[in-house]
Amino acid sequence: MTDQPRELFTAVDALLAAVDDGSVLPAPAERVRLREAAGLTQAAVAQALGARVPSVQAWEAGRAEPSAERLGAYRRLLEGLARRYPAPAAPAGGEGTSRTPPVSADPVPGAAAVTATEDIPSRVPASAPRSSAPAPAAEAPAAVPRPVRTARPTSVSSRGVGARAVASAGTPAGGVDPRFENGPLAVVDVDSDGTVWAYCTGGLVVDVPAKSVPSLVDWTLKEAKLGAAKLSGPGKDADPLLVLTEAALERYGLPVSLTEQERLAGRLPEGHKVIRQLARAEWKLTKRGFGPWARIYRPATGSERACVQLCIPSWQALDTRHWGDAGQLEPAELARVLGVYASRVMTPRGSTAVTGLELMTALHPPTRASAPDADGKRTSEHNPGSLGKDPVDPAPCEAPDGHPLLKDLPRFHVRGPAEKLFEEAYDWARPMTDAECTLRHLVGIDVNMAFAAGANGLNVGLGAPTHVKNPVFDPKLPGSWLVDLSHVDLSRVKAGKEWVELDGSLLPSPFTPKGERPEGPAWYATPTVAYAVELGYAVDPVEAYVRYDNGRYLDGWYTRLRDAYLATMADLGVGADLAPADFLAAMDDYQARDPELAIVVSAVKATVKGGLGKLRERPRGEGWRPGEPWRALSRPTWRPDIRAAVISRTRINLHRKIVKHAAFTGQYPVAVLSDCVVYAAGGPSPLDFLPYREGRPLPGGFKLGINPGLVKHEGTQSVLWGEEVRERFDAPELNLARYIKDGTVTDADNGE
């Protein structure tokens, strides 16, 4: 030991002196515990100390210690946190050090969860401006805390960071794939000094060294640790998503907005310098080119994929009808919104409609690896329960106008119900009766996630249709049936084993979207014909196109979207087990409790409707002419029969509740629009006409609640308002359900 350099002894003496005077920093694990207990991110600590995020990560991992100029400030921060959040005592009779208290499950990959409360802004350094206080925890559970904006230091962007703690680099949160420990996506922004930052989910901010789009793609695939694990065994991992802000677009040589010509084309011209840069680096673009949702890739080698997706909000990638003002959010806030959606639904692949369709495929990939043969080799084979990898033609009655199957029809021929399957949502209304006009209010109720509920448990065709003449109807066999249902009389229907007398003139027909009684044979999906049998009437189909290869293809799709919806509504303070009055109170202005999570709710609902709409996507320009194929027909997920079956079942589910309600209460709807039903009532609340008894709803009728298939309050207007609107437009059957939410009716709504 006497041979050791004198410097080592000096360093040891200094360390012992630091121990003696209590100035040694806590152990790395304790540093992490204190920060997470306070709800601070590594970026927030870095901002307060004027350090870089990687430095804080190194301090917490024990790889480095703060420099002398920051050591005192960091120790003061930790000591202050230790006074506020002392380590829990060791269990009685136990030995060893105290353990970090458990934290709640984190819905955002790559982020360690903490319980956020309404006092989070007070934990921001004193120099930081405070954000508006969030709703109390009782109203809006904080499973997904909102970002808290902090003061801008010299080296970290002032755009804001998440208020939740995140895992240290190289230390993924429990259960997170280490390949994707930084989450599924990042919002790329540029600071005023030119520094490029990637705002990841959970509040993590990463320095981006890339100087061009090709190098940005390389960095994403090699260093960023972005992406998401596959949703099913035979599926593929989700490609990383980069969202480029306007500052990032300028930094990488891209326009902040598209010209009118580029917007109509949906992409940049092929000669753009960034596209040339990608080509020189041997990167490729998909057929849709470099547009709002660009995909940059190299052909896969074996199981390895090399693909990065870009989302460009200023090019209208985020439709305001579904994403609200998400495109205007600060980077950290946008990362939060898209991150919650990605973790609960999937990483966006385009519009909500595109993502809804892609979710079906991600849950049921068309192929899987076969069992090994004698030589141990595996091959690709059909994945049972999927739609396969090849498209199938619809039945002629299921084909929309202009489909190649119909090219031999006369040019101006209009197909009627006996030639065309027309399963659509309700758009029905009737004049109010004298008794209804004496009531004071019109109350609208809306079915939650109605089309998702219609998909749940539905048996749909997986393969091509088989044409059958004079078939015997089978309610378990998906298909399209040509049958006459004009004999079904809604004045006398079967409810269970009993026949019920109703005023059929006040009810919409369940067999047509306009609620009109059919006049003869027409094509119907299986759920519609099955309902006629349920009402007590015989059916005798003339012909059918049935699908013997079938299954509950949409069950997993429904479950994931339902869970995403319920989890996000619970974060907004609307639970699934609330009493009726509490539920109505919780739904009152729930969006204001956390506008960012409200955007996620809107996007989830749009994913349901848009995904189902994509099953029968029509031509989108492309120089298409009637009788010619269009691009969507090449997809195995172009399945108008599945869309028709879901809409049929959704409409029938709603009619069944209407009949139950009428039979028990004698009340009939005034208007029905898609999943909204309007009743005349003596009071302004749904509880003024829904027959609850001791908190229990009518079995088989309408029930208030947040679960898909249950109903919420859509809006209330006065009966005088309804009569005035109809009189103004001289339309006694104007559909008031269209305007019941806020009562606003414009001349444009009625073609004037």
- How many Å apart are CA 570 and CA 579, to the nearest integer? 14
Residue 227 is predicted with a pLDDT of 96
Confidence of residue 156 (pLDDT cuts 50, 70, 90): very low
CA 748 to chain CA centroid, nearest Å: 31
299 alpha-carbon distance from chain centroid: 29
Gyration radius of the chain over CA positions? 30
| pLDDT at site 91 | 52
Which of 154-163, 259-268, 408-417, 724-733 is least confident? Answer: 154-163
Side-chain-side CA neighbours of residue 147 (13 Å): 29
Tokens of 664: 């028990």
- In eight-state DSSP terms, residue 228 is B
On whether the CB atoms of residues 644 and 421 are closer than 8 A, the answer is yes
d(C-alpha 331, C-alpha 607), whole Å: 23
Q: Which of 2-11, 50-59, 193-202, 663-672 has the lowest mean pLDDT?
A: 2-11
CB of 163 closer than 8 Å to CB of 145: yes
Statement: residue 129 has pLDDT above 70: no
Judge contact between 489 and 451, C-beta under 8 A: no
Asked if pLDDT for residue 497 goes beyond 90, the answer is no
Give the 3-state secondary structure of residue 190.
strand
Unique residue bearing structure tokens 């057929």 = 287
pLDDT for 515 equals 97
The pLDDT, as a whole number, for residue 118 is 31
Give the separation between CA 380 and CA 737, rounded to whole angstroms.
50
Ramachandran bin of 409, using left for φ above 0, alpha for ψ from -120 to 50, beta for the remaining angles = beta
Instruction: For residue 306, report the phi and psi dihedrals to the nearest 5 degrees.
Output: -130, 90
Q: Considering only residues 359 and 745, tell me which one the structure prediction assigns the higher pLDDT.
A: 359
pLDDT score of 349: 95
Residue whose entry in the numeric block shows the structure tokens 């298409």: 624
Does residue 357 lie within any of the structural domains?
Answer: no
Task: Report percent pLDDT > 90 for the chain.
Answer: 69
What's the rounded mean pLDDT across residues 708-720? 97
Number of Cβ within 10 Å of residue 289's Cβ equals 17
DSSP-based helix, strand, coil % in the chain, nearest 5: 35, 15, 50
Taking 70 as the threshold, does the pLDDT of residue 135 lie above it? no
Dihedral angle of Cα 64, 70, 71, 72, to the nearest 10 degrees: -170
For the residues 364-391, what does the mean pLDDT come to?
A: 89
Q: Is the pLDDT of residue 403 over 50?
A: yes
In a domain, 380, yes or no: no
Given the structure tokens 């954000």, which residue do they identify?
131
Asked if 310 contacts 296 with a C-beta cutoff of 8 angstroms, the reply is yes
Distances (CA, A) of 651 to 180, 375, 426: 42, 53, 7
Pinpoint the alpha helices (H) of 191-330: 213-222, 246-251, 260-265, 273-280, 320-323
User: Is pLDDT larger for residue 106 or for residue 252?
Assistant: 252
Mean pLDDT for the stretch of residues 215-231: 95
- How many structural domains is the chain composed of? 1
Buried/exposed code over 150-180 (b: 16+ C-beta within 10 A; e: otherwise): bebbebbbebbbbbbbbbbbeebbeebeeeb
Mean pLDDT on 436-457: 97
Task: Read off the pLDDT band of 125 (50, 70, 90).
Answer: very low
Report, as an integer, the average pLDDT of 357-382.
89
In a domain, 597, yes or no: no
Tell me what the pLDDT averaged over the chain comes to: 86
Q: Decide: 448 and 712 in contact? Cβ < 8 Å.
A: yes
pLDDT of 748 over the 60 cut:
no
Q: Stretch 319-328: mean pLDDT, rounded?
A: 96
CA distance 465 to 144: 46
Give the pLDDT confidence score for residue 371 in this predicted structure: 85
Q: How far apart are CA 675 and CA 677, in angstroms?
A: 7
Torsion of CA 59, 63, 68, 69, to 10 degrees: -40
| Single-letter code of the amino acid located at 725 | V
Q: What percent of the chain has pLDDT over 70?
A: 84
Characterize the bridge pairing of strands 676-681 and 441-447. Answer: antiparallel
Nearest to 512 by CA among 652, 616, 411: 652
Instruction: Report which secondary-structure segment, H or E, holds 717.
Output: strand 711-718
CA-CA distance, 545 to 533, in Å (whole number)? 19
pLDDT band at 608 (very low <50, low <70, confident <90, very high): very high
Q: Which residues sit opposite 711 in a β-bridge?
A: 447, 704
Measured in whole angstroms, the distance separating CA 12 from the mean position of its chain's CA atoms is: 57
Lowest mean pLDDT across 149-158, 329-338, 535-544: 149-158
> Which whole-number Å values give the CA distances from 177 to 109, 252, 556, in the listed order?
8, 30, 22
Give domain status of residue 329, yes or no: yes
Query: Residue 30 falls within a domain, yes or no?
Result: no
The arithmetic mean of pLDDT across residues 715-739, rounded, is 94
Please give the sequence-ordered ranges of beta strands (E in DSSP) within 416-512, or none if there are none: 427-429, 441-447, 460-461, 466-469, 479-484, 492-495, 498-501
What is the Cα–Cα distance from 460 to 188, expressed in whole angstroms?
42
**Low-confidence winner among 290-294, 300-304, 395-399, 468-472 (lowest mean pLDDT):** 300-304
Asked if the model's pLDDT at residue 641 lies above 80, the reply is: yes
> What per-residue confidence (pLDDT) applies to 14?
63
pLDDT at 56 over 60: yes
Report how far residue 474's alpha carbon sits from residue 461's, in angstroms, rounded to the nearest whole number.
14
Q: In what helix (H) or strand (E) does residue 310 lie, and over which residues does it extend?
A: strand 304-311
Task: Kindly state whether residue 543 falls inside one of the protein's structural domains.
Answer: no
Residue 15 in domain = no
Burial of residue 534, with CB atoms counted within 10 A of its CB: 0-12 exposed, 13-18 middle, 19 or more buried: middle
> 86 exposed, middle or buried (CB, 10 Å; 0-12, 13-18, 19+)?
exposed
End-to-end CA distance of the chain: 98
Which residues have C-beta within 8 Å of that of residue 582, sequence separation ≥ 6? none
Q: Is 5 exposed, middle or buried (0-12, 13-18, 19+ CB in 10 A)?
A: exposed
Q: What's the pTM value of the predicted model, to 2 decimals?
A: 0.79
Does 477 have pLDDT greater than 60?
yes
DSSP 3-state of 548: coil
| Partner residues linked to 524 by β-bridges | 481
Please tell me the distance from the alpha carbon of residue 32 to that of residue 9, in angstroms, as a whole number: 31
Q: What is the pLDDT of residue 128?
A: 33
Query: Looking at beta carbons, which pairs linking 372-376 to residues 24 or more positions away fall under 8 Å?
Result: none
Query: Given pLDDT bands bounded at 50, 70 and 90, which one contains residue 154?
Result: very low
pLDDT band at residue 302, thresholds of 50, 70 and 90?
low
Residue 277, pLDDT > 50, answer yes
Q: How confident is the model at residue 303 (pLDDT cuts 50, 70, 90)?
A: low
Which domain does 176 fall in, by range? 104-349
Asked whether residue 613 is domain-assigned, the answer is: no
